[in-house]
């Protein structure tokens, strides 16, 4: 099996997320199913199954990038209409509010370290 990925240009965050989502889409809809078919044809059933499972993970990656792209595009990465719990990814501090603090009061890491506690992008 031969595959390669051209290195794209670095763009805005939104452009990069869109390109990443497109790459994940290609992986789960085309590449890994093709790899699985080839493995199956060659008698490698376990490897074919593995490729199919990887394709499922790639679909989740695409969905995650698209959710984050939507938040970046509409300016809601660090804001919500209602109070939610925001968790610092560095120290675990939890803050409740419409927006996380500019800096974590516990470890002083910047706002970029906060994510919605119940809506991670993993």
- With a pLDDT cut of 70, the percent of the chain lying above it is 91
Look at residue 119 in the predicted model and tell me its pLDDT. 73
Domain hosting residue 23, numbered range? 13-73
Closest CA relative to residue 33, chosen from 60, 61, 70, 58:
58
CATH of the domain at 65: 1.20.1260.10
* Residue 12 CA to its chain's centroid (Å): 16
Number of domains in the chain: 2
Q: Residue 10 — very low, low, confident or very high, per pLDDT cuts 50/70/90?
A: confident
Q: State pLDDT tens for residues 23-71.
A: 999 999 999 999 999 999 999 999 999 999 999 999 999 999 999 999 9
Distance CA 85, CA 95 (A): 6
Distance CA 100, CA 102 (A): 7
Q: What is the DSSP letter of 89?
A: T
**Pair 112, 65 in one domain:** no
**Pair 57, 98 in one domain:** no
Q: State pLDDT tens for residues 105-122.
A: 999 999 999 999 987 655
Query: How many H-runs (helices) and E-runs (strands) does the chain carry?
Result: 3, 3
């Amino acid at each position: 099996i031969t595959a390669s990925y051209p290195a794209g240009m670095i763009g805005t965050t939104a452009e990069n997320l869109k390109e990443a989502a497109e790459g994940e889409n290609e992986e789960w809809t085309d590449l890994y199913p093709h790899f699985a078919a080839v493995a199956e044809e060659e008698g490698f059933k376990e490897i074919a199954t593995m490729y199919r499972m990887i394709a499922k993970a790639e679909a989740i990656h695409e969905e995650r990038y698209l959710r984050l792209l939507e938040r970046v595009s509409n300016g809601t990465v660090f804001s919500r209409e209602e109070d939610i719990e925001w968790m610092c990814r560095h120290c675990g501090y939890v803050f409740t509010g419409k927006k996380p603090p500019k800096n974590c009061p516990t470890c002083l890491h910047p706002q970029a370290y906060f994510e919605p506690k119940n809506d991670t992008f993993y």
